[in-house]
Amino acid sequence: MRQNSARPRPALSRRALLGTAVAGTAAAALLPGTASATGMDHPSEHPAVHPADRPSDDTAAAEVHTEFLHGWRGYTDHAWGYDEVCPVSRRHHDFFAPGHTFGLSIVEALDTLYLMGEDDELARGCDWIDANLDPVQNVSVEVFESIIRLVGGLLAGYLATGRPSLLDRVGELADRLLPAFTKSPTGIPYSHVNLRTGAVSGTMVALAQACTNVMEFGLLSDLTGDGRYYDVATRAYQAVVSRRSSLGLLGSTIHTETGRWIDVTSVAPNPPVDSFYEYLWSGSVLLGDPQLGSWYRELTAAIMRHQPVSVGGRLWFRSVDSATGRPVGAAAQSELGSFYAGLLAKGGDLTHGQAYFRTWSDVLARYPVLPETVDPATLAAVDKGSQLRPEYANAALDLWRLTGDDGYKDAAYRLFAGSRANQRVAEGYTVSGDVTVRGMLPGDLTPAYWFAENMKYQWLLFSGTPRFDYQNGILSTEGKVLSGLLHG
């Protein structure tokens, strides 16, 4: 494996700070006593995990590489050419629809293979795609998942290899997804489209489904000179943002044909809206689109005015009615929201980003890996399962790149070690049924995003690979490097 003695030192980059400060003081002022309780008085503190027994960067990188290859061999030995591997039963799983494969784990792994120097495996994956990936199957697929996983994966593979056939394949696939956007009277895409017939379905869409596409479609327009993809993506954002409340807040689910809110609750940064906000900031930086950045700042300021709460001395985000700002319920908080620590920081609000990371670090201090959902008052696991999630490591990478604080490496390594000790099986890695019990009740799936995200974030943290631009590289919500893969 590739090792480097001269490791890049991350620092705040100009691009990373594009979205200048976001109403941090407003949030603190609205919540008397919150500042010190959330640690906002101590923004430079390390994350609140006990320093892990973390080895040297070279050793940690070698361990991550070994574990990636362990999972990859499980996939190639038992599920090659299928979407996902079931590493316990040694069978395969179709992600999009039974009986239809897109070789999802191959597509998801392409740029990770490149970053790890696994060039033979990368070429093998590209050969499979050239020979087998059919983007015109007679099947209805979820548009959101197809874009972040397949379109994004193929784009990152093209950027890694320069193979024109991969770009051709992305274009074919994207053209088959376009009816979800162009057939919608509002511009908000239907949730599903049949790749062969163009038939659309699914009129009730979550915000993440509606708009987590501008990075992939914008880049595709840049690379092909065909503006249709970027146009439909920005039209979808315009359609949603124009329906914000007088408080500047958005609901969570909307009707594609009427444009009416189905659920008016602002649940940010939890699903099902999470990456809606991520793509405003990241899309703005990747595509140089000031409108996306402006919407990010405006909408984030509204979230920070109405949703932060101090619970048990930690920063959480309560759900509120987007029209009135009144709190709604006492929902469990989703691990998926932990990515927001990195997004807030990238968008210019380092203080709250670090505080929110400490919140999730406190949760991780209680379990080997993060459970799916937790009670913010007690940190008790509500959904005790683990779907091998990558969001906390994603935030650790973002915050380390911004601050250079090695406490974020400690935090990420702790998650890596907890997963290795509990979710590693003979043929790879598996999701778990209960993180609170010994052995964690192994399930039987390596989600394809594990190849795209979990191991990539850890690798980038520890390897110092010269194949990545640590200053300016930009990753999608699915961990695809859409800018910043280096060659030579």
Q: Which residue number, 146 or 477, has a Cβ lying nearer to ligand DMJ?
A: 477
Q: Which residue number, 35 or 396, has a Cβ lying nearer to ligand DMJ?
A: 396
Stretch 298-337: interaction string toward ligand DMJ, x if CB under 6 A:
--------------------------------------x-
- The residues, ordered by sequence, that sit 6+ positions from 267 with a Cβ below 8 Å of its Cβ are 252, 273, 319, 331
- Smallest separation (angstroms) from ligand DMJ to the CB of 482: 14
- Smallest separation (angstroms) from ligand DMJ to the CB of 479: 7
- Smallest separation (angstroms) from ligand DMJ to the CB of 476: 8
275 binds ligand DMJ (CB under 6 A): yes
Scanning residues 75 to 114, which ones bind ligand DMJ (CB under 6 A)? none
- How big is the chain, counted in residues? 488
Is the preceding peptide bond at 466 cis, omega within 30 degrees of 0? no
389 binds ligand DMJ (CB under 6 A): yes
Among 121, 477, 482, 483, the residue binding ligand DMJ under the rule CB under 6 A is 477
291 within 8 A of 308, measured Cβ to Cβ: no
State how far the Cα of 282 lies from the Cα of 275, in Å rounded to an integer.
Answer: 10
449 binds ligand DMJ (CB under 6 A): yes
What residue number has its CB nearest to ligand DMJ?
A: 477
With contacts defined by CB under 6 A, how many residues of the chain interact with ligand DMJ? 7
State how far the Cα of 275 lies from the Cα of 210, in Å rounded to an integer.
Answer: 10
Q: Which residue number, 279 or 407, has a Cβ lying nearer to ligand DMJ?
A: 279
Stretch 419-438: interaction string toward ligand DMJ, x if CB under 6 A:
--------------------
Q: Residue 320 carries which side chain, given as an amino acid letter?
A: V
Handedness of CA 243, 246, 250, 253 (dihedral sign): negative
458 binds ligand DMJ (CB under 6 A): no
Among 57, 84, 398, 478, the residue binding ligand DMJ under the rule CB under 6 A is 478
State how beta strands 381-383 and 424-425 pair: unpaired
Q: Which residue number, 65 or 389, has a Cβ lying nearer to ligand DMJ?
A: 389
Three-state SS string over 418-447 comes to HHHHHHEECCEECCECCCCCCCCCECCCEC
Q: Which residue number, 40 or 208, has a Cβ lying nearer to ligand DMJ?
A: 208
Q: Which residue number, 311 or 457, has a Cβ lying nearer to ligand DMJ?
A: 457
Buried b or exposed e, range 138-157, using 16+ CB within 10 angstroms: ebbbbbbbbbbbbbbbbbbb
482 binds ligand DMJ (CB under 6 A): no
Phi, psi of 93 (to 5 degrees): -135, 135
Q: How far is CA 479 from CA 198, 264, 271, in A?
A: 28, 29, 17
- Smallest separation (angstroms) from ligand DMJ to the CB of 342: 12
State how far the Cα of 89 lies from the Cα of 317, in Å rounded to an integer.
Answer: 39
Q: Which residue number, 306 or 389, has a Cβ lying nearer to ligand DMJ?
A: 389
Q: Which residue number, 270 or 310, has a Cβ lying nearer to ligand DMJ?
A: 270
What would the DSSP string read from start to end of 15-28? Answer: TTT-S---SHHHHH
Give the Cβ contact number of residue 132 at 10 Å: 12
**Which residues make up the interface to ligand DMJ (CB under 6 A)?**
275, 336, 389-390, 449, 477-478
